[in-house]
Amino acid sequence: MRALLTLIPLACAVAVAGTAIAQEAGKSVWQGIYTEDQAQRGAGTYAQRCGACHGAALNGTGEAPPLIGGEFVSHWDTMTVGDLFDRVRTTMPQNDPQSLTREEYADVLAFLLKNNGFPAGGQPLDKRSEVLATIGITAEKPAGL
């Protein structure tokens, strides 16, 4: 009995550590973190609010850098979707920052992710920065996903 009583707290400690590790590992942008519908809504918002500077095909203009391709993705490699969301939310559109709703920013982000080859899935992209901060961006699809 005594041995059992000392084992219980140990088992709890191991369980708690396991949860912490799972949260740290988080999710990946390669796991289908937005829906097709969301990306489609985002396309409309992009055309109205972003395309004039970043180009209709996201490939940049004299006014603003491309939001598609290797250079763009490498800027965000090893960062999180939350970092990208907050960067866009707080600084874009450059001529009127923070003028979209969180839903609209999430939709535009879904559109950007789709155009950069990250897959759609069944769950819409969250609009809370702290949730998006648990989703890692990697240029290469991690082995095993």
Give the footprint of ligand HEC on this chain (CB under 6 A): 49-50, 52-54, 63-65, 67, 72, 75, 88, 91-95, 108
Q: How far is CA 116 from CA 13, 19, 113, 130, in A?
A: 41, 31, 5, 23
| Shortest reach from residue 89's CB to ligand HEC, in Å | 9
Shortest spacing between CB 78 and ligand HEC, in angstroms:
13
Residues 90/94/98/103 CA torsion (nearest 10 deg):
-90
Rounded Cα gap, residues 89 and 100, in angstroms = 8
Q: What is the C-alpha to C-alpha distance for residues 89 and 87, in angstroms, rounded to an integer?
A: 6
Cβ–Cβ < 8 Å for 135, 33: yes
Q: Compare residues 53 and 133 and give the one whose CB is closer to ligand HEC.
A: 53
- Which residue number, 41 or 54, has a Cβ lying nearer to ligand HEC? 54
If the CB atoms of residues 50 and 120 are measured against ligand HEC, the closer one turns out to be 50
| CA separation for the pair 5, 112 (Å, rounded) | 54
Least distance between ligand HEC and beta carbon 71 (Å): 7
Residue with smaller CB distance to ligand HEC, 18 or 98: 98
Minimum CB separation of residue 119 from ligand HEC in Å reads 20
